[in-house]
Structures are given as structure tokens and as C-alpha cells.
Structure 1
Amino acid sequence: MSVKIPRYFINDLLFRTNIIDLINTRIKLKKNGKNYQTNCPFHNDKTPSFTVSYEKQFYYCFGCKKHGNAIDFLINYENLTFIESIEELASIHGITIPFQDNTIYEKNNYLKKQKLYSLIDQISKLYQKNIQLNNNAYKYLINRGINKNMIKFFQIGFSSFTWENFSEKLNIKKELEKELLNYKIISTNKNQKKYDPFQGRIIFPIHDINGKTIGFGGRSIRNIFPKYINSSETNIFYKSKQIYGLYQLKKKFFKPEYILVVEGYIDVIMLIQNKINYVVSSLGTSITKEHIKILFRHTDTIIYCYDGDDAGKTASWRALKITLPYISDKKTIKFIILPENEDPDTIIKKEGAKKFQLRIKNSIKMSEFFFKNILNGVDLSSNNDKFYLSIRALPLINLIPSEIIRIYLRQILGRIIGILDDNQFEKFLYEKEQKNKNIQYKQNKRTLMQKLIGLLIQNPNLSNLVVSKKNLENSKIKGISIFLNILKICKTHPNINTGQLLEFYRGSKIINILKTLSIWDHMIIEEKIENMFLDLLKNIHKKNLEIRQKYLISKERIHGLTIYEKQEIWSINKKLKK
């Protein structure tokens, strides 16, 4: 990866960022000694294996081995690119990224994003003011049962504006207008007149997880087709990644016990108005794997509650199939099947909050929903149908990462079609235990140079113990050049930490080796790390002498030695005897 942002800026950004604070806004950390711990967000973690070090500005999971600095965390947790993670950190600290001169595209793209954020926020505020001025739009919301508090909380607006009205109020220049046309934020009619695509619609602002307005959903209050439209995708708004209501949910609840996924904006608003919390929508589009990853970062249970028509039932089955690869021993899904032709908005008005809470409590478990649907139309008295059932069910079951859940579902399937394998679970547990032992054994075997580099990466301050590099620079030991390069960085940046140090090697050929060494459990108590490091340096020097000694002895047998080489080998022998 070519560096497109100045190295000094990335270092400064990491220096400004406290990884504890960054992670703690997303996952609740608990102090444990000098480190912080929690259950790992990247795998099914029954006991807290996810450790974050303030001193190293580094996180590491002892279970799945995921690790890295603040940038890595945003890349893995928020599913961001490297550039996007830098933009996120820069936004948190309120600083501008100084893109290098040769990265015009990235610089322009970044500036365009900032313009879009600002413009869409201003447009949203105009929409919100307009809802109070337009009697028909306001009445529409009140007639739908949406109260004033919800209108304010979700920042609902209305567009009756012509584009000229917007352009005048926001002082938009012609150059920016062209960009807005490219993004389809505005449109042109047959007469080439510009207009707002949301004109005549109730506006539901869509926010990212940080609360920035990034797009809109629009609902027609007249007979304009289609009934609902969303903003076109831009470089800040991607429908497959955005979830309506998640920002509002996270404002009130850090870690909800479940998240209820519904189809529409008004479904979300009406349920929350009736004290049914933890509700979101996937913008009316089908659920995507990106949505599922995001939702499972914030809860352990997703409950799908789609409309009670055929389309809603089909959407529920599709949601299950897409979610299967993300289900684990800890992460699960459930389903609420509403009566025919009902949706969350209508049912909450008819039944009230208590009965809807009962529907949530009695929501259908994943395994029950899976077999209820997979058995639909299957004749279990027919061997052909049983064969068809296994052919259809097994590939879906095998999508689930958790071996325990796969075994459980296969056992249910086995009972249904009359096949059982009672020894499979015990065999799995034994194989997994042996596999873990083998992995641990391999990980503990380190070369002399790997140990030295590992200690330096984990403790950059050890560089102060290296007074002279004379004995190292001429060394033939494999890996010495890497050690010397790391040593140089540590000495150039006296207060560098592990997270910052690894950032120098992002995209290099050796980054994976260095990351592995950065999480190596060296089993050395803290008080003895310096002594161990010095001993390793001595051993490196000794090994260099042994290599030179071996070379001189070999030369003596074949060609003989000069007087100076004889003196050298005498000196080496003397040093090695000490």
C-alpha cells in the first residue's frame, strides 16, 4: 500500500487517540490490572479474552488472535478502509487530513465528503423548519399517530421547496450544483429545470453512527409513485451499510439485549413512541451482510419483524439465510411473524405495547424457524422427499461457523429423516482440544532474532539499552536488518508505543510477521524483560562470533590464515570462553 497520507500525520493522529476511549465508546471495557478487558467483538467469546493496553495503545484477543492499533480496530470493527479509518479519527479530533501533493484524488474526495456532510446537514435543517410551516404535512404525521416528541427526536421534515429556493437559502454556487447533479441529490426535468427529488414528501433524515446526516428517506403524502424513495448513493451514503434508527438507539442504550429489525421508517418511530425500544430499519431494502455485521457489533440477538404479508414472510426467510454465516454460540436471531396484512405500525396501534412486548418475548428461535420453513411442502413419509430435505438443509446448516450449533441442527435433521451419530460431538471436542495444543506448541517456538524483535516491538523503550550497533551491523544472522530498522525508528521517536511502531510497517512484506511477534506471549515477568533483552543481545553477539569462528577455522584448513586472522581467531576463542 502506497502511503497517501503523510507519516507524521498518522503518527500524530495515533498519539492524540487513546485507544481505550475509542474502543470504550463501542464496547464496554473493564479495568483488569494495568490493562482493560471485555468479551471479544470478533468471535464467540464466552469469557473476556479481548485485552486492550493503554501503555502499548494496542488490542489483542487471546481467543481469535485479532489485534492491532486504533486504526486496525476501526478497520475491523466498523468495516472501514484504511483511508476511511484515518478520516474517522481525524473527524473525532476535529483536524483536517493534509493529503500529500501526489494524492489529488484522495484529497479532493475527502474535501467533497466534508462539503456533502455540511450541505446535507443544512438541507435537513431546512426540511425540519418546513414541517412546522406546512399544515398538510404536519397533519399527515399527526394523523398517522406520530407525536411532536417523535417528530423532534427523529428530526422529521418536509420538502415543498423548489431547488431555486434551496440554492438561494444555502448560497450554492454553480460548480457545486454540478456535483450535486452527479450525486443525484438534485435532478433535472424535461425542460432542464433543476428540482428537489424529495419535493412533496415527508423527510426522514438518515444518520451515521456518529450522528451525521448522510441521506434522506422520503414518503409521499399524495398519490405520487413510488410511495417511498431514498437518497441516491454518494461517497458518504451507502444503502447496504446504513441502518435507520441505530444512531438514536445508541444514544439511549449502550448494549441493547436485542435489536428489532422492521421494514419502514414509520414502523421504527411508532414502536419507539410506544416504548418498544431497540428498533431499527434497513431503509426498506433487503437486509445485507453489512447490516448484519453492524447489528451484531451492538447486540447479541437480532429479532426480525417484517410485515405479515407474503413479501414479509419471504424477507424473513431470506434474512435467515443471509444471517447464517454470522450466527455463533453467542450471536443468534429470532423472528416475529405478524398476522396477515399487518405491519408493526398497525399492530402496535391495535394491540398496544404490552401485547407487542409479549410477541417479542415469544419470538421464534432460529432453529424452530429454520425447520418450520425448510419442512414446508416436504412429505416425511417419502424417501425422495427426505433426500431432497437433506440436500436442501445441509448446505445452509454448514454456513454456520459454530461447530456446536451445526452439530445440534444436524442432530435435529437426523432425527427428522432417521439418521443419528451420537459420537460426533465427543469427537469434535477431542479434535478441537488437540488442535489448540498443536497451535500453542508451534507458537511458542521462536528463534533468537524473533525473540529479540518481539521484545522490542512490545517494549520500544528497550531501544535505550542498545548503546552501540557496531557488533550488529556486520552480522549475518537472518532478521538483523529488520531489528536494526525497528531500532532506528524507536530511537528516532523516543516515546513511540507498539501501536504507532507497527503503523510504520503497514502494507510492507513483513507486517504479518511483526504483528505475530507483537502478540507473542514471551512468558517473561515485567521486572526481568530488560535483563532478557540484554541477554539476547549478548547471545546475538556470541552467535556472530561463532559464525566468524567457523568461517576462519574452515579457511585455515583449506588456505591457511594471515597473521591478522590468527590474532582474530585467538581473540574470538578468548571471548567465547568467558
Structure 2
Amino acid sequence: MSGKIPKYFITELLCRTNIVELIHARLTLKKNGKNYQTNCPFHNDKTPSFTVSYEKQFYYCFGCNAHGNAIDFLIQYENLSFIETIEELAIMHGITMPFENTASNNFYFRKQKLYLLMERICKLYKKNINFTDIANQYLAKRGINKNMIDRFLIGFSSSSWNNFHKKLNINKEFEQELLTYNIISVSKKGYIYDRFQGRIIFPIQDYHGRIIAFGGRSLNNNLPKYLNSPETDIFHKRKQIYGLYQVKKKCLKPTYLLVVEGYIDVITLTQYNINYVVSTLGTSTTSEHIQILFQNTDVIIYCYDGDDAGKNAAWQTLKKALPYISDKKTLKFLLLPDNEDPDSIIRKEGTEKFQMRIKNAITMSKFFFKNILKNVNLSSNDDKFYLSARALPLINTISSDTIRIYLRQILARMIGILDDNQFEKFLYEKEIKYTKKIPFQIKRTPMRTLIGLLIQNPSLAKIAPSITKFKNLKIKGLPIFLEILQTCLDNPNIKTGQLLELYRNTKIINVLKILARWDHMIIQKEIQNMFLDLLMNIYDKILEKRQEYLISKERIKGLKMREKKEIWSINKALSKK
């Protein structure tokens, strides 16, 4: 997106955001001294190495070097763009995003307009269902009560736009806006129509509860039976989970999420007090779906029909999920009897029996080998080779060492490797050699240490003596130090995370981020003394450089009276060292 969000606004957002609260809403943090810790969400972390500092408004992982402020966390954890992250924080704090150049930010304002139009048309669909016998008859037949209709904002679109338009007194201005944003369309014959006409409407909400799209169920045998909104600036089907907003209103971090196939399944199960059920809008599961689900729970349970199509869909889902499984994140599978779906079976069995099915869901490892062993004869050496060749590439996509080795152990025994030496060789000869990315490093120098101390403790700027008159001297790192020093003086309450944000997209940001996480190996109460000592040493070097310059100038062409007084002052200052 073109155009800029003013830096003052981003700084204000970060001032209002408590990074500990932001991360704790997504991960379980435990206090450890002044900081908070948890297992890192960005790599397979066996011991808590992810540290969050309230004082610095900054996070850092000692295992994988993931680091940053609140904006960086949302970008990494939620897979958002920079603009989406700023929008997320703005919504969280209830403030509107300003732009330096409004004309060049059509994308953002188009999104806001879409949210507004979707909300308005949703209310009209909802209102319309009260006037429509056919829709209410269908919902009653499916056993959906008024509470669920209200909870999921279920509505109805009349069989013609003209009928809908008149019944709800839609004005021409609103109609034109709906046409402009392609929410309704014009046919080749010039008639205005709604793509959902004659359908029950299931509004699709994002994690803030905003209406971003609709699903429609045909009541007059028109095909397709179910229809979703087209993709827009605010709706991307491969990233959206239906019902997740309703689940999170009940429980911010559910123990597990049950994934079903359709809107009605979600609504019916919720009505039967299964308050952790979601769906993927009738599409096959994507890697984005899996990541979003794992961000909200540690256990995903996929519920599929027990026929071949359901089993195949479950297998494809497992293969996509393997890279995201860890020691704490897993998935299970619930396969229903033939000719049954979640809606039908819970009405027959009731909540208690259905929950027993959930409790007895097939574990990931059991389901993996059940499928991988299909049509394999373990008494045949050829089949054993085939099994190994088929299973190992899939097992190797799992990032968790523990789970990967455990599955290899099971596989090794299946193909008859019992000898200890052969067993060890089998386990490790095909081990993926993860190339650990060596983080970018820089050499420690007094100036870099000084800058690092200031970035980590911006309040030190208040005690720094002025050395701005020497800013033109060619001392490496001095201009950066002086610039950061001035920024800290101009913003007395600035934190590390906010300070670094001001340098996003600059050439020095990577160096500054390294300095922000340097361990200076000194106790907190000595930081101020170390900062002043370093500053005075650098100040002395500045004086020595100035002294050398003035002495050289005196030999060549002499000094003015002002310069003579200056060199006398420098000599006096340096003699006190």
C-alpha cells in the first residue's frame, strides 16, 4: 500500500500498547525476575527461552534470535503485514489511522468502507429473515433456535433484489455504494441482483467480530447449494475460520478446537453446547488455516465423514499439518460413521455421546501409521522398502526432534530393524541436517556498547553531558549516538521497543536490534556508571582529536585567539585524566 502512516502515530500506538499484555493474550507468560518467559512460538522450544521485557517493551528469544517490539510480534506471530499490524493495534485502542497523504491510501479507506457496507447489509439480511416464512421454516426444520440465529447473525436474501430493496426501504445512495464495491451486481440485461438472492445468509466474521463476507445456502435448489462471497480486500478464504470469533468470545484460549465442514455443523454443535467448534468455509484445509488454529489452541481435532472422501480429506490435512506439529501442538481425527455428519449425529446421540467421540479421537501418530500402512504387506521386503520411502519424507517435515525420532522408531520396528547398530543408523542417517542460521554479528567497540546501553535504557539520555558541538568530527558511530541521544531527550518516556520502531526500514536497524539485545554482563545499578565512563572516554577521544587538529593548524598557519583559548582548555581537561 502506498502512502505513509505518520511516525508520531506509530509511536503513540506503541506507547499505549503493553507488550506483556499483548503477548500474554496469545501465549502463557510466567514472571521471571523483572521479565516474563515462555516457550518460543517461533521454533520448537523445549525450555522457556522467549523473554518479554515490560521495562523495554521488547521481546527476545535466546534460542532462535526472534526479537522485536509489539509490531514485530504481531507481524511474526499473526502473519500480518506492517499496515495490517498497525490497523490491528489501532482497533485494539479504538483510534483511527491517520495518513500523511490521504489520496494515496485508497486501499485502507476502501477496506474501512467495505467493513461499513458489510455491516449495514448484514443488518438488512438479519431484519429480512423476520419477514420470510421459507427461511424460518428451513431453520426450524434444521432445529436451529432463535438464540443461534442471533448469535451467528443468520439472515436471508429475498429471491429478487427489487423485492428486497422495496421491503427494507434501501435508498439509492446505499444501493450505488453496494454496486461500486461489488457487493451486488448488474446483470447483462441491466437488472440489479444479489448473488445470494433466495439464500439463507451466514455472515463470516473476523477475529474482531467485523463482517468480512457471507456464506449463502440455497433454498430453491439453485446450484451451488452453498456459495461464499468472492475474495476482497478484507476477505481471503484460505485464511478465514468460521465460528472462531464466537468460540473466542466464550474462551480466549480453548483447550482444543473441533474443525467441521459446514456452517450448519458449527451452529448445531454450538447449540448442543460444543462451544469450541469452527469450520474452514467448505474449502480444503490450508497451511494458513492450521497456523491460525494453532495460534488459538494446542490441540486441533478434525471431524470428517467416515467415507473414503472424508478419510482422504483427513489424510491430506495431516500431511499439511506435519510441519506445524510440535511437542506442545498436535492434532487428532474424529471420523464419523457412513452417511452421518456432525449435525445429524449429535441430534441422534446428544451432547454426552458426541463428547465421548471427541475424547476418543484418533491421535496423530496412530492416524499417520493407519494411513501409511494401507495396501502394505509387512512380510514383503519390497513393501517394506516402499513403506520406508513413503513415510520418511513425511516424518522428516516435522520440526520437533522428539516426535520425529519417535515416529522413526515405530517405523523402524515395523520394517524389522531390531539390531541396535542398524537401529541407530536408521534413525540418524536420514536425519534432516538443519542448518542453524548464524545470526548477524558485529564486533564490540566502546561506541557500540555506549549506543547499546542507551537503546536498552533510553532514560540515560537525561544524564549525558552535551557533546553536540563535536558532531562534525569523524568518529565512527558518533552521529548515530547523537541522533539517538536527541531522540531520547525529545521523548523522555520512550522505551526500547518504541525507539527501535523509529528506525524501521533504515540501513542501521539490524545493527540497532543487535545492540538492543547485547548482554553487557553488569548489574543494573552499575549501568549508569558504565554509561558515564564510556561517554567520558569517548569525550576524551573527541578532545584528543580536536587537540591534534588545532596543533596541526598552529604549525601550518597559526591559531586565532579563540582557538588558542580552546586548545588551552582542552590541554587542561586532558591533564586531569
Using structure 1 for the length normalisation, give the TM-score. 0.88
**Deviation readout 1:128-175 (Å, 9 max, x if unpaired):** 222222122112112112222212211111111643444942553575
Separation (CA, whole Å) in 2 of partners of 1:247 and 1:349:
24
Moved more, 376-385 or 270-279: 376-385
Equivalent runs, 1:166-565 vs 2, <5 Å: 166=165, 168-169=169-170, 171-173=172-174, 176-181=177-182, 185-419=183-417, 420-422=422-424, 446-470=444-468, 473-474=471-472, 476-542=474-540
Deviation at 1:322, TM superposition (A): 0.9
**Deviation readout 1:379-411 (Å, 9 max, x if unpaired):** 223333222222222221111111222222222
Moved more, 210-219 or 44-53: 44-53
Taking a change above 3 Å as real, the CA distance of residues 494 and 161 of structure 1, as seen in their structure-2 partners, is farther
Matched residue SS, 1:137: helix
> Is residue 288–residue 322 contact of structure 1 (8 Å, CA) maintained in 2?
yes
> Is residue 309–residue 342 contact of structure 1 (8 Å, CA) maintained in 2?
no
**Residue ranges of structure 2 left out of the alignment (5+ in a row):** none
> Is residue 207–residue 244 contact of structure 1 (8 Å, CA) maintained in 2?
yes
**Deviation readout 1:407-449 (Å, 9 max, x if unpaired):** 22222222222344338989999x99xx99x989x97973322
Deviation at 1:38, TM superposition (A): 4.0
> Is residue 122–residue 170 contact of structure 1 (8 Å, CA) maintained in 2?
no
> Is residue 305–residue 311 contact of structure 2 (8 Å, CA) maintained in 1?
yes
> Is residue 44–residue 331 contact of structure 1 (8 Å, CA) maintained in 2?
no
Separation (CA, whole Å) in 2 of partners of 1:454 and 1:460:
10
Which amino acid in the other structure matches residue 495 of structure 1? N
Separation (CA, whole Å) in 1 of partners of 2:200 and 2:468:
74
Which amino acid in the other structure matches residue 20 of structure 1? V
**Residue ranges of structure 1 left out of the alignment (5+ in a row):** none
Separation (CA, whole Å) in 2 of partners of 1:550 and 1:380:
85
Separation (CA, whole Å) in 2 of partners of 1:258 and 1:239:
22
Separation (CA, whole Å) in 1 of partners of 2:425 and 2:383:
27
Separation (CA, whole Å) in 2 of partners of 1:386 and 1:551:
81
Taking a change above 3 Å as real, the CA distance of residues 393 and 65 of structure 1, as seen in their structure-2 partners, is same
Matched residue SS, 1:386: helix
Q: Does residue 77 in structure 1 map to residue 77 in structure 2?
A: yes
> Is residue 476–residue 544 contact of structure 1 (8 Å, CA) maintained in 2?
no
Structure 1 equivalent of residue 112 of structure 2: 114
Moved more, 364-373 or 169-178: 169-178
> Is residue 59–residue 67 contact of structure 2 (8 Å, CA) maintained in 1?
yes
Structure 2 equivalent of residue 22 of structure 1: 22
Deviation at 1:532, TM superposition (A): 1.0
Moved more, 82-91 or 318-327: 82-91
Taking a change above 3 Å as real, the CA distance of residues 6 and 443 of structure 1, as seen in their structure-2 partners, is closer
Aligned length, in residue pairs: 564
> Is residue 472–residue 480 contact of structure 1 (8 Å, CA) maintained in 2?
no
Moved more, 200-209 or 340-349: 340-349
Taking a change above 3 Å as real, the CA distance of residues 163 and 498 of structure 1, as seen in their structure-2 partners, is farther
Taking a change above 3 Å as real, the CA distance of residues 393 and 562 of structure 1, as seen in their structure-2 partners, is farther
Deviation at 1:511, TM superposition (A): 1.3
Which amino acid in the other structure matches residue 481 of structure 2? F
Matched residue SS, 1:216: strand
RMSD over equivalenced CA pairs, Å: 3.5
Which amino acid in the other structure matches residue 256 of structure 1? P
Which amino acid in the other structure matches residue 534 of structure 1? L
Deviation at 1:540, TM superposition (A): 2.7
> Is residue 260–residue 279 contact of structure 1 (8 Å, CA) maintained in 2?
yes
Taking a change above 3 Å as real, the CA distance of residues 415 and 563 of structure 1, as seen in their structure-2 partners, is farther
Taking a change above 3 Å as real, the CA distance of residues 41 and 225 of structure 1, as seen in their structure-2 partners, is same
Separation (CA, whole Å) in 1 of partners of 2:541 and 2:203:
67
Matched residue SS, 1:59: strand
> Is residue 38–residue 50 contact of structure 2 (8 Å, CA) maintained in 1?
yes
Separation (CA, whole Å) in 1 of partners of 2:120 and 2:200:
17
Separation (CA, whole Å) in 1 of partners of 2:401 and 2:376:
26
Moved more, 420-429 or 163-172: 420-429
Moved more, 265-274 or 46-55: 46-55
**Deviation readout 1:232-280 (Å, 9 max, x if unpaired):** 1111111011100100000011211111111111111111222223111
Matched residue SS, 2:170: helix
**Deviation readout 1:71-123 (Å, 9 max, x if unpaired):** 2222122211111111222223333222222x634x22211111111111111
> Is residue 552–residue 561 contact of structure 1 (8 Å, CA) maintained in 2?
no
Which amino acid in the other structure matches residue 137 of structure 1? A
Using structure 2 for the length normalisation, give the TM-score. 0.88
> Is residue 44–residue 399 contact of structure 2 (8 Å, CA) maintained in 1?
no
> Is residue 260–residue 303 contact of structure 1 (8 Å, CA) maintained in 2?
yes
Equivalent runs, 1:75-114 vs 2, <5 Å: 75-101=75-101, 104-105=103-104, 107-114=105-112
1:136 to 134, 137, 140: 134
Matched residue SS, 2:335: coil
Deviation at 1:215, TM superposition (A): 0.8
Which amino acid in the other structure matches residue 574 of structure 2? K
> Is residue 161–residue 197 contact of structure 2 (8 Å, CA) maintained in 1?
no
Separation (CA, whole Å) in 2 of partners of 1:571 and 1:28:
56
Separation (CA, whole Å) in 1 of partners of 2:214 and 2:205:
9
Separation (CA, whole Å) in 2 of partners of 1:399 and 1:170:
56
Taking a change above 3 Å as real, the CA distance of residues 446 and 426 of structure 1, as seen in their structure-2 partners, is farther
> Is residue 490–residue 496 contact of structure 1 (8 Å, CA) maintained in 2?
yes
> Is residue 217–residue 230 contact of structure 1 (8 Å, CA) maintained in 2?
yes
Matched residue SS, 1:335: strand
